[in-house]
């Protein structure tokens, strides 16, 4: 696997900023496999009316697809926002980590140990109605017990289409990971996150007044790797094209000599 830059440089940048771009990570034949996997999952949602926890459709009205799912309202068939456990539903997306050698070629060099595969997601950001993903830290979704075995996660987010500012590329808040504090969004029940009609959303100006967000467009086949505490967001997609992406998440075992139990 070609990371394109010296590993020490990537590790330093990841430590300082909480994310690191990985340019041209995916060769065209593997990107073709990913496109097929995404298309197949999206096609299946044409027959869906309601979201489940794993398959979230976009929806009209306040709070978009997140609120509609929590309130049992109908979503828009074929306009899927996110599919969790994507590898369990798509043989194509399931084989990508192996095809790319993500664990031995990316996780191990950057963490020092291989990770444990945790989950994969299709982030479909469909045309016209693709909704904003508010500022959040993925650590919010990890339980306390996680830190007994693991110290963090690496999410490897891969653009399947060009991700631009106008169709909802990711934005990051460099340095927001440093304190390893999970910031709890207002109005959220931590024990039952998915029941809340309000999607977790952080007020980054109040929480991190000294940090400045950066917007990170990615060409199809390029990726970004980020940590669990790194605050990030993506804006809405009002364009006529979709902005598909797939993320592969690895839990990072504690390295020898680092403290166990809790963050
Ligand atoms: O792709 C997106 O729009 C959001 C991705 C995201 O928030 C994540 O991978 O945690």
Ligand 1 pocket: which of 123, 200, 236 to mutate (most atoms <8 Å of CB)?
Answer: 123
Look at ligand 1, atom 10, and give the residue with the nearest C-alpha: 138
Lowest model confidence (mean pLDDT) among 39-43, 145-149, 190-194, 202-206: 190-194
Q: Is residue 258 part of a domain?
A: no
Q: How far apart are CA 61 and CA 46, in angstroms?
A: 20
Whole-number pLDDT of residue 259: 60
**Residue 5 reports pLDDT greater than 60:** yes
DSSP letter (8 states) at residue 237: B
Q: Residues 54-110: pLDDT tens digits?
A: 999 999 988 889 999 999 999 999 999 999 999 999 999 999 999 999 999 999 999
pLDDT at position 155 is 98
What's the CA-to-centroid distance between 147 and ligand 1, angstroms?
22
Give per-residue burial for 30-68: e unless 16+ CB within 10 Å, then b.
Answer: bbebbbebbeebbeebeebeebeeebbbbbeeebbbbbb
CA distances from 96 to 78, 101, 162, 220, 245 (A): 24, 8, 19, 15, 13
Is residue 35 pLDDT above 90, yes or no?
yes
Domain assignment present for 260: no
Give the pLDDT of residue 63: 86
Whether residue 107 is contained in a domain is answered as: yes
Mutation choice for ligand 1 from 119, 242, 245, CB with most ligand atoms inside 8 A: 245
Taking all residues of the chain, what is their mean pLDDT, rounded to a whole number? 94
pLDDT digits (tens, 9 = 90+) for 142-198: 998 999 999 999 999 999 999 999 999 999 999 999 999 999 888 888 778 888 888
Q: Is the pLDDT of residue 262 over 70?
A: no
CA of 245, closest atom in ligand 1: 1
How many domains does the chain contain in total? Answer: 1
Please give the residue range of the domain that contains residue 79: 7-253
CA dist 174 to 74, 170, 246, 259, Å?
A: 37, 12, 22, 25
List pLDDT tens digits, range 108-117: 999 999 999 9
Residue 261 lies inside a defined structural domain of this protein: no
Q: What percent of the chain is predicted at pLDDT more than 70?
A: 98
Inside any domain, residue 259 = no
CA distance 25 to 4: 9
The CA 74 to ligand 1 mean position distance, Å, reads 23
pLDDT of 260? 54
Residue 234 Cα: closest atom of ligand 1: 3
Question: pTM, whole model, 2 decimals?
Answer: 0.96
Q: Output the CA 9–ligand 1 centroid distance in Å.
A: 25
In-domain check, residue 1? no
Task: Give domain status of residue 2, yes or no.
Answer: no
Closest ligand 1 atom to residue 123 Cα is 1
What average pLDDT does this structure show over 210-230? 98
**Cα 257 to ligand 1 centroid, rounded to whole Å:** 32
The pLDDT value recorded for residue 230 is: 98
Q: Is residue 48 part of a domain?
A: yes
Tell me which residues have their CB closer than 6 angstroms to ligand 1.
123, 125, 133, 138, 155, 157, 168, 232, 234, 245, 247
Question: Tokens for 223?
Answer: 């990726």
Q: What is the CATH number of the domain that holds 130?
A: 2.60.120.620
């Amino acid at each position: 696997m070609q990371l394109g830059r010296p590993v020490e440089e990537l590790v330093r940048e990841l430590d300082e900023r909480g994310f690191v771009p990985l340019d041209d990570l995916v060769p065209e034949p593997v990107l073709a496999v990913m496109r097929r996997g995404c298309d197949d999952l999206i096609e299946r949602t044409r027959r869906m009316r309601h979201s489940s926890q794993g398959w979230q459709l976009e929806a009209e009205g306040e709070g978009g697809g997140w609120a509609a799912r929590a309130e049992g309202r109908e979503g828009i068939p074929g306009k899927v926002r996110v599919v969790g456990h994507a590898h369990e539903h798509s043989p194509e997306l399931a084989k990508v980590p192996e095809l790319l050698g993500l664990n031995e070629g990316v996780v191990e060099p950057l963490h020092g140990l291989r990770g444990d595969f945790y989950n994969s997601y299709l982030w479909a950001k469909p045309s016209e109605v693709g909704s904003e993903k508010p500022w959040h830290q993925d650590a919010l979704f990890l339980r306390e017990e996680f830190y007994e075995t693991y110290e963090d996660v690496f999410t490897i987010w891969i653009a399947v289409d060009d991700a631009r500012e106008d169709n909802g590329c990711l934005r990051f808040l460099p340095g927001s990971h440093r304190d390893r504090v999970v910031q709890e969004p207002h109005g959220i029940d931590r024990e039952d996150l998915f029941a809340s009609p309000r999607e977790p959303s952080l007020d980054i100006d109040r929480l991190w007044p000294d940090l400045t967000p950066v917007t990170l467009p990615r060409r199809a086949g390029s990726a970004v790797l980020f940590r669990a505490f790194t605050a990030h967001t993506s804006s809405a997609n009002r364009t006529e094209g979709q902005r598909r992406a797939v993320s592969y998440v690895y839990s990072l075992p504690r390295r020898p000599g680092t403290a166990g139990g809790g963050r």
